[in-house]
Amino acid sequence: MALLEVKNLDVRFAVRGGDLTALRRISFSLDKGERLGLVGESGAGKSVAAFSILNLIAKPGYIAGGQILFEGKDLAAMSERELRKIRGNRIAMIFQDPMMTLNPVLTIGTQMVEAILAHRKISKKEARAIALDRLQKVQIPSPEKRLDQYPHELSGGMRQRVIIAIALLLDPEIIIADEPTTALDVTIQAEIMDLLLNLCEQENVALMLITHDLGVVSQVTQRMLVMYSGRIIEQGPTREIINDARHPYTQGLINALPQMGEPGARLFQIPGSMPSLKNVPSGCPFHPRCNFATDQCKRAMPEYVRSGNVDVACYEVANLIEQEKRMQEAES
Amino acid sequence: MTSPLVSIRGLEKRFDLSGSFLEQLRFEGGRLRRKQEAVHAINGVNLEVQKGEALCVVGESGCGKSTVARTVMGLLSPSAGEIHYGGQRIDNLEGKAALPYRRKMQMIFQNPYASLNPRMTIQQTLEEPIRFHHPDWSPVQVRDKIHEVMHSVGIDPDWGSRFGHEFSGGQRQRIAIARALAVDPEFIVADEPISALDVSIQAQVLNLLMDAQESRGLTYLFITHDLAVVEHFGTRVAVMYLGRVCELADTKTLFAMPRHPYTQALLSAIPKLEDDRPNHIRLQGEVPTPVNLPSGCVFHGRCPYANERCRQEVPQLIATDGGAQVACHAVEEGRL
């Protein structure tokens, strides 16, 4: 059984003039110790997906359907009280901006001890020892001193290390990291990603990494999901998708990277931009930007088809697979 | 070599932190002392931008790259040093004398949500610079010019009566580019023009900038932190660290053979699609504060090759046999 299994999750936002569907029939699973990447551009719904796992979507957002099974229990159906036992304890979360996540008026030590005491019945002294141990794990120089410092005394990279240390406090099974390095410089980003990767391996923690950076996903994760306009359009092993993307959108995303183009030549570009939730196109939401779009694409959302180890939602890919099958049958 | 279009000579910029005279007074050791503090944003930068090229300035936050852009544009006045445009010194020009240069030099900013006036329609936004620089133009001429630039950046000219908030981030950045192009500039300073945009939109805007360069013969000073963009877009690259240029080279040379230890670390930190495992050069510590600059080479505290000379003597940009200019004692002495 998978550690976390999301089945047909629907998330909507109730706004004036009707509901906006932010996530539509999202299904994926995460195994113990596995590293999963969630990729997409802004507005794709990747952060909503991450937040909804811990039922953290703020009103007017709500989970309209589907299940989020964590060790077999449905998080979507749990009471707030039960959820609290899981949040931060079994499933921890790392957010994008370390300055917004840390409380500016409390010392690092106070915040860490508070998090431990919320879940464990131990003395403050023991809690402080755990906090110190985690700060050492994230390789912060002079950790004893840091415990008594305030967030503003640390640099951006240090703060994000503290956030990772807090996430690790209670030995979680899953860490959900929402764009953990986007606010940081490249050299610091590389160090933080290295650290996160090594810690997840050592402690056998599953990682769900939300990012827009295909390079990071490629280096850190084993499997990835590509999201577009609230749907998963492609999912499978990271290497297989990066090397040989099936969905036209994923192909476009990869080919649009400057490192893929000939220096000085025009870059591959996907025309248009991601639709807003208010007017999602009918059928496959990508069809107005897609070179392969047919009438079929405008009518209905394609079902997933399997190509290699990758699941893709695209009629064009389905047709190609059909054709290949027929060719093989004709040959034999 | 022909004379450069823009040359930056011995540029320094400090931002005073200490406030007024009374705020500077400190009571130390039984007597009053005056204490002045400043952020040393740029510490002696020499750069020349050749006509028709795209000179990229890269570095991490706080390295002074945006300050260079703003000082060149005249948005900030330099603490020391000179800016020359087409052979003429421009950093000391005032009022009417500076006008022709304001038209020839235009700027594109990072955040298209902040750089467009929310209370102006697109038509008004584009009209303003044209009317200002060409007061003698007839309304028809102005309108034709607006149509031309909107068309060239891929925005439907019929949308002129809309406001900025009605457009997506990518479209807004196109409008900001159209505003810069409206007065037919020769030189464009682009300060992180694509970092606020999504990947697929970044490619669109980058293509637009390259098309404009080709069709209008533009020269760019391109400020960015994204090395992948530099490799694709830049003719030459200047790598900055703590207000100094540590390496200046042709794009190809720099990416094929980075010489300065900081450049090497920066290049190795880019997440690449091919690598399965991150394999980057680890730097010790973090960027020091530009308030108290380290002595000698500003990079020595994090450099694995630093020795006594690096701690004391400031390295100058020296041409190497590979064609790059590198400010590093280790490279100069052949230790690296």
Average pLDDT of chain B, as a whole number: 90
Are residues A187 and B269, on separate chains, in Cβ contact within 8 Å? yes
In angstroms and rounded to an integer, the radius of gyration of the C-alpha atoms of chain A is: 22
Task: Kindly give, in sequence order, each residue whose CB lies less than 8 Å from that of residue B174, ignoring residues fewer than 6 positions away.
Answer: B153, B154, B155, B205, B208
pLDDT band at B177 (very low <50, low <70, confident <90, very high): very high
Q: What is the 3-state secondary structure (H, E, C) of B66-132?
A: HHHHHHHHCCCCCCEEEEEECCEECCCCCHHHHHHHHHHEEEECCCCCCCCCCCCEHHHHHHHHHHH
Nearest in space to B82 (alpha carbons), one of B145, B7, B156: B7
Range of weakest confidence among A42-46, B24-28, B105-109, B185-189: B24-28
Among the partner-chain residues A186, A190, A269, the one whose CB lies closest to the CB of B225 is: A186
Residues of chain A found within 8 Å of residue B241, distances taken between Cβ atoms: none
CA atoms within 13 A on the CB side of A75: 26
Q: What is the DSSP string of B195-264?
A: TTS-HHHHHHHHHHHHHHHHHHT-EEEEEES-HHHHHHH-SEEEEEETTEEEEEEEHHHHHH---SHHHH
Give the pLDDT of residue B336: 78
Are A8 and A27 a contacting pair, CB within 8 Å? yes
Are residues A273 and B206, on separate chains, in Cβ contact within 8 Å? no
Strand, helix or coil for residue A77: helix
A191 at B interface, C-beta within 8 A:
yes
- Which tokens sit at A199? 């810690």
Nearest C-alpha of chain A: how many angstroms from B156? 13
Nearest C-alpha of chain B: how many angstroms from A29? 22
Bridge partners for B107 per DSSP: B189
Nearest C-alpha of chain A: how many angstroms from B60? 6
Low-confidence ranges of chain A (pLDDT < 50): none
In angstroms and rounded to an integer, the radius of gyration of the C-alpha atoms of chain B is: 22
- Which tokens sit at A192? 């933080």
- B285: closest chain A residue by CA: A141
Domain ranges in chain B are 256-336
- Which tokens sit at A253? 């995303």
Distance CA A37, CA A42 (A): 15
Are residues B272 and A218, on separate chains, in Cβ contact within 8 Å? yes
- Report whether pLDDT(B1) > 70: no
Q: Do the strands A174-178 and A18-30 form a parallel or antiparallel pair, or are they unpaired?
A: unpaired
CA atoms within 13 A on the CB side of A106: 12
- Report whether pLDDT(B2) > 80: no
B252 at A interface, C-beta within 8 A:
yes
> Which of A70-95 are b and which e, b meaning 16 or more Cβ less than 10 Å from the residue's Cβ?
beeeebbebeeeeeeebbbbbbbbbb
Residues of chain B found within 8 Å of residue A215, distances taken between Cβ atoms: 270-273
A185 at B interface, C-beta within 8 A:
yes
Distance CA A274, CA B168 (A): 9
B271 at A interface, C-beta within 8 A:
yes
| Angle at CA of residue B174, ends B170 and B175, nearest 5° | 120
Q: Which value does ipTM take for this structure?
A: 0.81
Are residues A258 and B271, on separate chains, in Cβ contact within 8 Å? no
Average pLDDT over residues B6-10: 94
Are residues B280 and A194, on separate chains, in Cβ contact within 8 Å? yes
pLDDT band at B3 (very low <50, low <70, confident <90, very high): confident
- B276: closest chain A residue by CA: A219
pLDDT tens per residue, range B190-225: 999 988 888 888 999 999 999 999 999 999 999 998
Nearest C-alpha of chain B: how many angstroms from A128? 25
Nearest in space to B55 (alpha carbons), one of B8, B96, B93: B8
Average pLDDT over residues B136-158: 92
- A271: closest chain B residue by CA: B204
Strand, helix or coil for residue A296: helix
- A41: closest chain B residue by CA: B198
Give the pLDDT of residue B70: 93
Residue % of chain B over a pLDDT of 70: 98
Q: First vs last Cα of chain B: how many Å apart? A: 30
A197 at B interface, C-beta within 8 A:
yes
Give the pLDDT of residue B276: 61
- Which tokens sit at A279? 């007017």
- Which tokens sit at A170? 């209670």
- Which tokens sit at A241? 């998708």
Average pLDDT over residues B30-46: 87
Are residues A257 and B228, on separate chains, in Cβ contact within 8 Å? yes
B210 at A interface, C-beta within 8 A:
yes
**Helix axes of B139-152 and B169-181: crossing angle, nearest 10 degrees:** 130
Are residues A190 and B278, on separate chains, in Cβ contact within 8 Å? yes
Give the pLDDT of residue A105: 95
Q: Do the strands B31-34 and B25-28 form a parallel or antiparallel pair, or are they unpaired?
A: antiparallel
